[in-house]
């Protein structure tokens, strides 16, 4: 979108904590949004999002001097207040964490206005701090959810680790108005509870939580009651308190304390030396069950209290798609909508939306579907640019018309090949939704293992998501509604369920008997669940056409969809990124725009060079 003489342009920024990003609103309309990591190639890049800002301004056809307001997604002085008060509460035990945090705060975060002015002056030498606006962290989350949603009125629930003080907030959105009704405060945090068990099971905090969610179906929640009895005190309305004896995040440099190890009889798993065991699977199942119990109590109480049929969700916990699916099926709310960039990156968008509606008082009218337009808000590359970049990288490719591209791609997928699919505008948020995706045949018993071990280079237990034509979703899954952002888990339909064969068990490397699968085993988790993405013709016509072509060939209206990257690397952004990932992995075909590349046609020395770039462990 190119903008001319906008009435009001607002740049939103999130930075310096997790997943820096920038977003641009013009007259209230979302023009562009992107995470900094996609440009710098540093996963979860928390630095100032200079590249993302340059992109969103270019997408809007603006320079920074034309922007009326710059909105930042939280208030650093309030966060600093929390740091100081937490230190005083735990002193002297918290001195080491305090000592390590202070240099960063004094150098950057406490004097954020100065940092923002310095960085933004590189875009506009005359930039004035008078343009700066600051929203509280959870207001940014709530605004990103409500103002982007299809609802005129909604309860808005935001849950994450911690903002300034708040860890959970309840707000009511009506029209342009959004008001916080109540909050839970640090150190009592559902996000930090989940992160603590992420750490305890040997995964990386702030990026490994989804691994715990994926591991949970392999276990039994046999520690659920112990957690609820000893660690988490949950009230009937879902409010809760955490017994801080079991945690160390408020005062120390680790997430859990020795008391946690004593309670469960196991020390923190060392990921490089200690294998995952049934104990870790049961711990994952238990913390997932506790999380779901808290969320269900909370949402039931909110639905009863406010009598509003619609619920919006944001914050990092809203990325727990298993819990989201249970909230929907529970039925306390008739409709739920989850912000696809629910984590801190989405705060950039929410800060800009809060400035437009709450600070400037501009009216809002809910749009059919939602305001995110499929979350396709990042950079796009036309066929000439794609061809030029691929040529410069040494690629060998064929340019075809769209009909041939669809036919060749669908046939390759039906033949069991892994296909890199690079099309249109990059997605905003952590999920690839059909524009920066690696695709496969969901009917294949070997596809999950192939993608995990030969393409993604990640743990073999990790499930993959199905992209299904919206018009066919209820035939294949226990879901009869929209899930465009891959943020709801549903069970596969009864008619396609079956037991895993012994041959499939060998392919998956699973020794247990009677593992439950389906006729689409590559996207069915061991509990008969799947993280569903519904594909809509109006938001992504080319991806819809590809799945339709595959459906015509096979009778199956869905594909395996996983993000176009390998473990530890951000999703690809440019054609060059896509070619590098294609050459360094087991992807057999790359389709970038209308350029088609086959692995066997490429220079073998390039494959070896790119493969060596990745840490294959």
Q: Give 307 or 103, the one with higher predicted confidence.
A: 307
Structure tokens at 87: 């230190």
Residue 25 bridge partners (DSSP): 10, 30
H or E stretch covering 141? helix 137-146
Q: What percent of the chain has pLDDT over 70?
A: 88
The second-level CATH assignment, the architecture, of 184-338 is: 2-Layer Sandwich (3.30)
**pLDDT > 90? residue 456:** no
Q: Where are the domains of the chain?
A: 9-140+347-375, 184-338, 377-606
The answer to whether the 9-140+347-375 and 184-338 domains have the same CATH topology is: yes
Compute the Cα dihedral for 242, 245, 251, 254 and give only its sign.
Answer: negative
377-606 has which CATH code?
3.90.870.20
**pLDDT > 70? residue 82:** no
The model's pLDDT over 110-163, given as tens digits with 9 standing for 90+, comes to 568 888 999 999 999 999 999 999 999 999 999 999 999 999 999 999 999 887
The pLDDT assigned to 207 comes to: 85
The model's pLDDT over 541-565, given as tens digits with 9 standing for 90+, comes to 999 999 999 999 999 999 999 999 9
The model's pLDDT over 15-43, given as tens digits with 9 standing for 90+, comes to 988 899 999 999 999 999 999 999 999 99
The model's pLDDT over 185-218, given as tens digits with 9 standing for 90+, comes to 889 999 999 999 999 999 999 889 999 999 999 9
**Distance between CA atoms of residues 522 and 450, nearest Å:** 10
Active site amino acids: 18
What mean pLDDT value characterizes the chain? 90
* 424 SS3 class: coil
Whole-model pTM? 0.91
pLDDT confidence tier of residue 63, bands split at 50, 70 and 90:
very high
* For residues 427-442, average pLDDT: 97
Q: Are 321 and 216 in contact (CB under 8 A)?
A: no
Angle of the 604-611 helix axis to the 575-584 helix axis, nearest 10: 90
**pLDDT > 60? residue 233:** yes
**pLDDT > 70? residue 353:** yes
pLDDT confidence tier of residue 617, bands split at 50, 70 and 90:
very low
Q: Are 377 and 32 in contact (CB under 8 A)?
A: yes
* 74 SS3 class: coil
Q: Which CATH number fits domain 9-140+347-375: 3.30.420.40, 3.60.21.10, 3.50.50.60, 1.10.10.60?
A: 3.30.420.40
The model's pLDDT over 559-600, given as tens digits with 9 standing for 90+, comes to 999 999 998 899 999 999 999 999 999 999 999 999 999 999
Q: Give 478 or 614, the one with higher predicted confidence.
A: 478
The pLDDT assigned to 513 comes to: 41
Contacts 24+ apart (CB under 8 A), 82-91: 82/162, 82/164, 82/165, 82/186, 86/186, 86/187, 86/250, 86/251, 87/251, 89/250, 90/250, 90/251
* For residues 300-316, average pLDDT: 98
């Amino acid at each position: 979108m190119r903008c001319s003489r906008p009435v009001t342009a607002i740049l939103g920024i999130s930075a310096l904590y997790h997943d820096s990003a920038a977003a641009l609103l013009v007259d209230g309309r979302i023009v562009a949004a992107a995470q900094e990591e996609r440009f710098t190639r540093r996963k979860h890049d928390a630095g100032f999002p200079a590249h993302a800002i340059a992109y969103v301004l270019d997408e809007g056809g603006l320079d920074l001097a034309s922007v009326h307001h710059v909105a930042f997604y939280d208030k650093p002085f309030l966060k600093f207040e929390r740091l100081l008060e937490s230190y005083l509460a735990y002193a002297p035990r918290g001195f080491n964490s305090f000592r390590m945090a202070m240099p960063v705060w004094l150098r950057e975060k406490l004097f954020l206005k100065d940092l923002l002015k310095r960085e933004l002056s590189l875009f506009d030498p005359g930039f004035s701090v008078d343009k700066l606006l600051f929203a509280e962290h959870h207001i940014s989350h709530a605004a990103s959810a409500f103002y982007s949603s299809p609802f005129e009125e909604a309860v808005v629930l935001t849950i994450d680790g911690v903002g300034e003080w708040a860890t959970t907030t309840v707000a009511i959105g009506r029209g342009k108005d959004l008001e916080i009704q109540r909050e839970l405060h640090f150190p009592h945090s559902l996000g930090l509870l989940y992160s603590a068990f992420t750490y305890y099971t040997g995964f990386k905090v702030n990026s490994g939580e989804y691994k715990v969610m994926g591991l949970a179906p392999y276990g039994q929640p046999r520690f659920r009651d112990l957690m609820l009895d000893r660690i988490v005190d949950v009230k009937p309305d879902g409010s809760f308190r955490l017994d801080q004896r079991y945690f160390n995040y408020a005062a120390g440099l680790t997430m859990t304390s020795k008391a946690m190890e004593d309670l469960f009889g196991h020390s923190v798993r060392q990921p490089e030396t200690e294998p995952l065991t049934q104990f870790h699977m049961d711990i994952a199942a238990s913390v997932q069950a506790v999380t779901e119990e808290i969320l269900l109590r909370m949402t039931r109480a909110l639905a009863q209290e406010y009598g509003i049929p619609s619920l919006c969700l944001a914050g990092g916990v809203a990325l727990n798609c298993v819990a989201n699916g249970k909230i929907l099926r529970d039925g306390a709310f008739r409709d739920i909508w989850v912000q696809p960039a629910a984590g801190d990156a989405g705060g950039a968008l929410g800060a800009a939306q809060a400035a437009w509606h709450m600070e400037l008082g501009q009216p809002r009218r809910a749009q059919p579907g939602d305001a995110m337009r499929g979350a396709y808000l990042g950079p796009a590359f036309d066929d000439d640019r794609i061809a030029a970049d691929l040529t410069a990288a040494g690629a060998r490719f064929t340019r075809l018309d769209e009909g041939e591209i669809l036919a060749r791609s669908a046939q390759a997928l039906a033949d069991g090949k892994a296909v890199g699919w690079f099309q249109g505008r990059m997605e905003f948020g952590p999920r690839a939704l059909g524009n920066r995706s690696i695709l496969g045949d969901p009917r294949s018993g070997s596809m999950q293992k192939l993608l995990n071990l030969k393409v993604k280079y990640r743990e073999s237990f990790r499930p993959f998501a199905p992209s299904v034509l919206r018009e066919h979703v209820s035939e294949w899954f226990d879901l009869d509604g929209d899930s465009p952002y891959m943020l709801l888990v549903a069970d596969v339909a009864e008619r396609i369920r079956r037991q895993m064969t012994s041959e499939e068990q060998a392919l998956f490397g699973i020794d247990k008997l009677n593992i439950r699968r389906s006729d689409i085993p590559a996207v069915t988790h061991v509990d008969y669940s799947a993280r569903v993405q519904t594909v809509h013709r109006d938001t992504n016509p080319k991806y819809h056409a590809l799945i339709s072509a595959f459906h015509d060939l096979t009778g199956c209206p869905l594909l395996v969809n996983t993000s176009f990257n390998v473990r530890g690397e951000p999703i690809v952004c440019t054609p060059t990124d896509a070619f590098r990932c294609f050459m360094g992995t087991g992807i057999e075909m790359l389709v970038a725009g209308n350029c088609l590349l086959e692995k066997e046609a490429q220079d073998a020395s390039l494959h070896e060079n790119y493969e060596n770039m990745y840490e294959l462990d």
